Chain A
């Protein structure tokens, strides 16, 4: 065989391919930051895109007028646990705003922020709340009024999978909490009750928006288990008055949480700004934006202004389940109560 000669393999096509590859790589890398401008990355969960677009605009305007700093806030959205995993794997988030505390606990365990993160901001670091309600078809033709109606034969229930959707874990725990509050209830009766509800579920989407689409656009099911914010949005914008909201007799206080990611913000020198950004969520201006996006504000004055949108109801909280760590182990880990529904 001949000795390989230099250039002998350099046909035009591989060279062209190499040039294209380099051009492609260049196109993929982010552009350099503009000087005199501070960037923050807010890594959040799925349905908060519109909320934080408004918050970011208001916060940037306020920061500009107060200190002259030009702040640009970038947003990243996805499933809550997926986003936490991204941050854990090196996504440079200055702040995280996620669907449940469990996903930030994971970051604390990964040494990205201190273990007492939930005490650093008011209200358990949850600047707004929501709850789980039922979205039914206009006029409520199947007379769905409370949790037991979801377990009736012939009712189609739509909810995302609690194992893949942070939001759906709140749905599941709300049903469980209702069952546990019945006279003479125990773990076995609660499991039987949620099993009966999930026997009526024919589509388990992986995320909350997927379920909303399945119910609203595909016409599947009679009732959608949804966060109040999503239900109000669907009622007012997506459904064009084709849906009603039913408030169950008991539900759960869903507390989406926020935190500064210490290790990232310290390295980038953005700690103060990141903290100010999260504190802005608690100001009357921030709370007003939150209420307009159908989340329940913490500020009593703002809440009073939007009282018509948020009826008072009986709520349990995650503390009643012994916190997320315990709730996760009992219900959502492999072999937990949710898995056992499908493995007779």
Chain B
């Protein structure tokens, strides 16, 4: 695209920051790649779904089983992301604030859940938490069953989502100026006050971004979950599995209808989280 009204840039929503040239071509390439890699594949979902009439669409996505699966998918992803927030913050804190032998190793280990094939993660977690597994056998006498239940889904999603929180919070933690915390301490703030009033506000936006990423990853996760979930309809069946089920019946339109609902709900939630994050960031700057 060509941009002619260059004079009005600085005033309106078009803004170029920095002195490096190249706004036109880089925005052009961005739009091209975004279209090729994200927008066109996603538009196929809309196209396939449009084979259904509105009534059929509602019947498909409004069926008790589909609604239950959506509840399970989004619910478990939200819980897992919420668990990952404090754990991820703690890990990022330890890595960026302290130095100890093996720190680099821990640092590298955190990325492993991203690189590992998710099926491997699912099988490993199931082996661990099943009734006869290393951990599962100690929980069994208390009547706690983690594998093959919705709790198993949360465990798998915590595993795959953790790196996203750590990696978004870590750089911010490293950049925080220690002087502020020291100043707070010297003015008589307790460590808890220093953390809550000084450190946390500057980390919060990044923490929220990490939450959003972990959540988004969790909603779409399929490979690790199907091994540990038990996949019982209405109880532990996630929406991606229901989509695969539709495909197994050669019902492409039904599958894409469910996909569309997931897509729109995820998009709405992510938009909400991102606006919250932007609001927090603005407030933090003041």
Contact = CB atoms under 8 A, between A and B. Distances in A.
Instruction: Say if A and B assemble together.
Output: yes
A161 B231 contact: yes
B130 A202 contact: no
Nearest to B126: A218
Contacts of A203: 148, 230-232
B25 A4 contact: yes
Nearest to A7: B22
B226 interface: yes
A81 interface: yes
Contacts of B133: 218
A122 B245 CA distance: 32
Contacts of B244: 164, 206
Interface secondary structure of A, over-half rule: loop
Contacts of A339: 65
Contacts of A82: 247-248
B248 A1 contact: no
A315 interface: no
Given A9-B25, A218-B130, A220-B130, A343 B64 contact: yes
Contacts of A276: none
Given A220-B148, A343-B64, A5 B234 contact: no
B23 A334 contact: no
B248 A163 contact: yes
A2 B21 contact: yes
B233 A4 contact: no
A4 B24 contact: yes
Contacts of B231: 161, 203-206
Interface stretch (B101-109, B204-212, B249-257): B249-257
A342 B22 contact: no
A85 interface: yes
Interface range for A: 20 to 34
B214 interface: no
B6 interface: yes
Contacts of A31: none
B94 interface: no
B232 A4 contact: no
B174 interface: no
B132 A81 contact: no
A218 B250 contact: no
A29 interface: no
Interface in A304-333: 332-333
A219 B131 contact: yes
Contacts of A9: 22, 25-26
A3 interface: yes
A81 B245 CA distance: 10
A164 B230 contact: no
A79 interface: yes
A219 B173 CA distance: 45
B249 A79 contact: no
Nearest to A6: B25
A77 B284 CA distance: 54
Given A4-B25, A5-B21, 10 more contacts: A1-B9, A5-B22, A81-B247, A81-B248, A204-B230, A205-B231, A218-B133, A218-B147, A219-B132, A220-B131
